[in-house]
Amino acid sequence: MKVKIANYSQILFIVICTFLSGVATAQHMNQYAFHSASVKRVFLPEVNAGQSFKVLDAKGNELVSAMVTEAKLWEYSNTSVAVADFSSLVDEGSYEVIIDGSDSSITFSITDNAYREPGTSLIKSYYMARATEPILEKHAGEYARLAGHPDDKVVIHPSAASKERPAGSTIASPGGWYDAGDYGKYIVNSSISTFTLLHLYELFPQYLKGLELNIPESGDKVADLLDETLVNLRWMMTMQDPHDGGVYHKLTTKKFCGMVMPHKDIKDRFVVMKTTAATLDFAATMAKASRILKNENKHLQQLGTECFAAAEKAWAWCKAHPDLLYVQPKDISTGQYDDKEISDEWFWAATELYLASGNKKYKKDIRFDEQKFSQPEWRRVNSLGLYSILSNEKNAKGLNITASKKKVLKMADKLYKQYTESAYRVSIDKFPWGSNGEVMNDGMLLINAYLLSNDQRYLEAADACVAYVMGANPLNKAFVTGYGKNTPMFVHDRRCAADGIEAPIPGLLAGGPTNSVQSDCGETAYGTKIPAMSYVDMECSYSTNEVAINWNAPAVFVFLGLDAIYSSK
């Protein structure tokens, strides 16, 4: 497998492998490496209860001897698995698991870089997704590419027209990140993605200041993760109409382009419609950024001041347009990110503006009793407000901090229960589009709960989310490109499809199994509608194998958040 990215040469592409001779034992486990502090399990579909296993170190010394658990059915995959647990092992090194009655052995490693290395690739993927600028060889290795989409003459679509900016006129909106497998830039999805990275930085600033990404901004005395996040934040600011404060929903071509490199997609790009959801998401993200940037250098403090002014102007526009929902124009067929219920956006934006300013005019729109909280995704954003309240209690005076904490812990308790009852020891209990993103958002919620409570249960369940996406699943798939022996090779991403390089860009989280859509490759390609098994590693599978900034962001949060917590102990 040919994979190389800037400063990524240390990546081990097959850290965990199975040496087969005679009868093989199927095994599903973290295929990259275990952290010394993590829970360590292998799931065994073909092993019966009562069988023993042992773990040997590199010198052949027996360190663990125990029995596998009774096999348990996971209804989402229709498979039964027994579990071998060797979490008592904490020393870094190489190990071997031998199952009684099997002629195969399972090797694995323990390293304290187990989460830091893939986590670094997960955030580095945002540099690889930058629009407008060239991706340079000194930062990207063989994945270097030409600049695409200057976005200096973006056309005002009729749906976005105003007196000051009539249809057909142009604006400049360069920079930012490509959203997913396409080259669009969408405010709704950018907002939750940008917030997630900002929140990670807010919680672990000192840890992240020591994380080097080898990006153009490296060495400027600002944390690389924050620098990368600001690339998208600055683009978002260009999507606000300075005349009225409204924010355009998206910037795209009229139709998706073919599977070509960015510089070959040269059709006109449009900003489409101002919406309340996009403008509220924008306001929340800008207010969050303004608070964080107050603690940075003078240049970034000034940017923070500009962010808050933009947030206030966006809020005023929303007050004048409280329910302007996205409607796809007939001549546009790119991603919609249409949300029909936006009370959660109002809650999130009001919360962030209140925390940033202390202005009581925002408090009346923070209506806890009207909200049904759940782990976040782009349609469900009210929990993001809870995260900010609980990480900024000094600014949250007058808000119900106790109730906020109870709500987060209640959600975490539900996820922990699902984790303990799952045959695969994972919190997920549904498989929508982007199910791996759901798992990572579960992990993000659990980490926030741990930081509130210091309850190790939540950390254990969050850690299991990493194991799941790294191979401890019934597909035996390590869903982060470049990490593991069975990782996606044909993700639905135009850059990866068109760059002529065998392996995809490392550090991309594939969307994961779902049976909600199978028309992209055809039902015969999937072969099943069992939820956790409905996945194919095929370029056509935008439903299961696409990549997206809103799935990578919580993965960055969980991998690096866990590493920050473990390294501080």
* pLDDT tens profile 185-199: 999 999 999 999 999
Q: Of the ranges 8-17, 23-32, 104-113, 294-303, which one carries the lowest mean pLDDT score?
A: 8-17
pLDDT band, very low/low/confident/very high, at 102 (cuts 50, 70, 90): confident
| pLDDT of 30 above 70 | yes
Q: Are residues 79 and 32 in the same domain?
A: yes
193/218 same-domain check: yes
Which of 399, 431, 447 is the last residue before a domain boundary? 399
Could you say which of 110, 144, 166 is where a domain stops? 110
Domain assignment of residue 391, yes or no = yes
| Res. 7 pLDDT band, cuts 50 70 90 | very low
Q: Which region, left, alpha or beta, applies to residue 337 given φ > 0 means left and ψ of -120 to 50 means alpha?
A: left
Q: Tell which residue, 184, 327, 161, 170, has the closest CA to residue 254.
A: 184
**Side-chain-side CA neighbours of residue 75 (13 Å):** 6
Each residue of 354-400: pLDDT tens digit? Answer: 999 999 999 999 999 999 999 999 999 999 999 999 999 999 988 99
Which residues are registered as beta bridge partners of 145?
135
* 159 contact partners, CB below 8 Å, separation of at least 6: 272, 273, 327, 329, 332
**40 and 171 housed in the same domain:** no
Candidates 173, 196, 192, 178; CA nearest to 126 is: 178
- CA dist., res. 507 & res. 143, Å (int): 13
Number of domain units in the chain: 2
Token reading at 463: 């850690």
Can you state the angle between helices 382-390 and 187-203, rounded to 10 degrees? 20
Q: pLDDT band at 440, cuts 50/70/90?
A: very high
Question: Is the pLDDT confidence value at 61 over 60?
Answer: yes
DSSP string for residues in 500-529: --SSPPTT-B-----SS--TTT-HHHH---
Are 202 and 71 in a shared domain? no
Residue 145 in 3-state DSSP? strand
Q: Is the pLDDT of residue 22 over 60?
A: no
State the average pLDDT over residues 490-501: 99
Neighbours of 134 (CB within 10 A): 15
For residue 8, tell me if it sits in a domain: no
Coil vs helix vs strand at 436: helix
Identity of the amino acid at 360: K
Q: What values do phi and psi take at 185, rounded to 5?
A: -130, 120
Residues 103 and 155 in one domain: no
Q: What secondary structure does DSSP assign to 384-417, as a single string?
A: HHHHHHHT-GGG-TTS-HHHHHHHHHHHHHHHHH
Q: How far apart are the first and last CA of the chain?
A: 36
98 residue type, one letter: I
- Contact indicator for 227, 217 with CB cutoff of 8 Å: yes
- Name the helix (H) or strand (E) containing 550: helix 549-567
For residue 48, name the pLDDT band (cuts at 50, 70, 90).
confident
Phi, psi of 306 (to 5 degrees): -65, -35
Residue 176 clears pLDDT 90, i.e. is over it: yes
Pick from 520, 344, 514: nearest CA to 438: 514
Secondary structure element (H or E) that encloses residue 495, with its range: helix 494-498
Asked if 115 and 32 touch (Cβ cutoff 8 Å), the reply is: no
558 CA to centre of own chain:
9
Query: Could you tell me where the DSSP H helices lie in 51-135?
Result: 116-128
Are 264 and 175 part of one and the same domain?
A: yes
Could you tell me where the DSSP H helices lie in 294-342?
298-320
Q: What residues contact 109, with CB distance under 8 A and at least 6 apart?
A: 15, 16, 33, 34, 92, 93, 94, 95
Q: Using pLDDT thresholds of 50, 70 and 90, give the confidence band for residue 15.
A: very low
194 in any annotated domain: yes
> Tell me: the pLDDT tens digits for 106-127?
999 999 999 999 999 999 999 9
**What integer pLDDT is reported at residue 26 of this predicted model?**
72
pLDDT per residue as tens digits for the range 471-480: 999 999 999 9
> Residue 322 burial by CB count (10 A; 0-12/13-18/19+): exposed, middle or buried?
exposed
Which of residues 399, 414, 442 is at a domain's end? 399
Pairing of strands 154-156, 270-274: parallel
Which of 520, 550, 549 minimizes the C-alpha distance to 535?
520
- Is the domain of 35 the same as that of 57? yes
pTM confidence score: 0.95
Q: Are 381 and 280 in contact (CB under 8 A)?
A: no
**Residue 281's pLDDT band (boundaries 50, 70, 90)?**
very high
Determine the angle formed by the axes of helices 549-567 and 116-128, rounding to 10 degrees. 150
For 495, phi then psi, to 5°, come to -65, -45
Instruction: Let me know whether 203 and 329 are in one domain.
Output: yes
Beta bridge mates, 67: 52
The proportion of the chain whose per-residue pLDDT surpasses 90, expressed as a percent, equals: 92
Please indicate, yes or no, whether residues 196 and 71 belong to a single structural domain of this protein.
Answer: no
Q: What are the Cα distances from residue 217, in Å, to 178, 228, 238, 508?
A: 19, 8, 21, 21
* Neighbour count for residue 392 (Cβ, 10 Å): 18
CB 262 within 8 A of CB 495: yes
Q: Classify residue 215: in a domain, yes or no.
A: yes
Domain annotation covers residue 135: yes
Which residues does the annotation mark as catalytic?
Answer: 182, 492, 537, 546
106 shares its domain with 124: no
Q: What is the pLDDT of residue 396?
A: 94
Domain-embedded: residue 248: yes
Q: Is the pLDDT of residue 141 over 50?
A: yes
- Position 523 in a domain: no
Same domain, 369 and 289: yes
Is 149 found in the same domain as 102?
no
**Strand blocks (E) in 36-152:** 41-44, 52-57, 62-67, 72-74, 79-85, 93-99, 105-110
Both structure tokens of 501: 């390089």
Quickly list DSSP for 273-289: EE-HHHHHHHHHHHHHH
Q: What is the CATH number of the domain that holds 167?
A: 1.50.10.10
Going by pLDDT thresholds of 50, 70 and 90, the confidence category of residue 23 is very low
Which CATH number goes with the domain that contains 93? 2.60.40.10
For the ranges 9-13, 373-377, 388-392, 481-485, which has the lowest average pLDDT? Answer: 9-13
Give the pLDDT score at 125: 99
Does the residue 457 lie in any domain? no
Residue ranges making up the domain that contains 25: 18-110
CB 509 within 8 A of CB 440: yes
Rounded average pLDDT over 169-178: 99
Average pLDDT of the chain is 95
Are 84 and 53 a contacting pair, CB within 8 Å?
yes
Give the containing element (helix H, strand E) for 562.
helix 549-567
Residue 399 and residue 353: Cα distance in Å, rounded? 13
Output the pLDDT for position 104: 79
